[in-house]
């Protein structure tokens, strides 16, 4: 596949790329799956060849922020007077905090890849060529 920074590119809107990432498909072409397994990403998009993570760690900031949201909700609930008085209250409370966190791991990973993609589109680097979009 001939990839190059000078290749003509169609504009991809912000929400379209976000929607693609959240639905675990390539934010560049929208065709290739991001993941091999549940939470193991391909290195490159199987459809267009887009490199998902240029540098490992590019997507950590999204992880760090999105992991804190359920914890912040739990802190707010406790702040307004909720108390765990028995295991019958504690198990559902902590399950309600942890379950969304675990179940959305691949979607948040896809979202992080989409945000990194938008950043790379916004500030292109000649050392980071984008593959041409499929017609
Ligand atoms: Zn792709």
Question: What CA–CA distances, in Å, run from 35 to 69, 104, 116?
Answer: 24, 14, 16
Cα 107 to middle of ligand 1, angstroms: 16
Q: What would the mean pLDDT of 107-133 be, rounded to a whole number?
A: 90
Beta carbons of 117 and 21 less than 8 angstroms apart: yes
Cα 130 to middle of ligand 1, angstroms: 10
Cα 46 to middle of ligand 1, angstroms: 7
Q: What residue numbers bound the domain in which 21 lies?
A: 14-122
Residue whose structure tokens are 């938008």: 118
Position 130 confidence tier, pLDDT thresholds 50, 70, 90 = confident
Asked, for residue 74, whether it belongs to a domain, the answer is yes
Residue 6 clears pLDDT 50, i.e. is over it: no
Asked, for residue 39, whether it belongs to a domain, the answer is yes
Asked, for residue 43, whether it belongs to a domain, the answer is yes
pLDDT for 10 equals 58
Rounded Cα distance between 93 and 76, Å, is 13
Please write the tens of the pLDDT for every residue from 27-58. 999 999 999 998 899 999 999 999 999 888 88
Asked, for residue 98, whether it belongs to a domain, the answer is yes
Asked, for residue 66, whether it belongs to a domain, the answer is yes
Position 8 confidence tier, pLDDT thresholds 50, 70, 90 = very low
The count of domains in the chain is 1
Supply the pTM of this predicted model: 0.80
* Strand runs labelled E in 4-105: none
Residue 1 clears pLDDT 60, i.e. is over it: no
Asked, for residue 133, whether it belongs to a domain, the answer is no
Cα 134 to middle of ligand 1, angstroms: 9
User: Which range has the worst mean pLDDT, 5-9, 34-38, 57-61, 128-132?
Assistant: 5-9
């Amino acid at each position: 596949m001939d990839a190059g920074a000078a290749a003509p590119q169609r504009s991809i809107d912000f929400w379209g790329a976000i929607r693609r990432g959240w639905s675990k498909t390539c934010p560049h072409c929208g065709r290739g799956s991001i993941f091999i397994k549940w939470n193991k990403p391909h290195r490159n998009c199987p459809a267009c060849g887009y490199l998902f993570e240029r540098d490992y760690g590019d997507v950590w900031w999204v992880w760090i922020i999105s992991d804190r949201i359920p914890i912040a909700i739990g802190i707010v609930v406790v702040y307004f007077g909720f108390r765990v008085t028995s295991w019958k209250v504690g198990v559902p409370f902590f399950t309600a905090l942890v379950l969304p966190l675990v179940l959305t791991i691949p979607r948040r990973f896809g979202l992080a890849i989409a945000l990194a993609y938008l950043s790379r589109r916004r500030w292109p680097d000649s050392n980071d060529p984008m593959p041409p979009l499929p017609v």
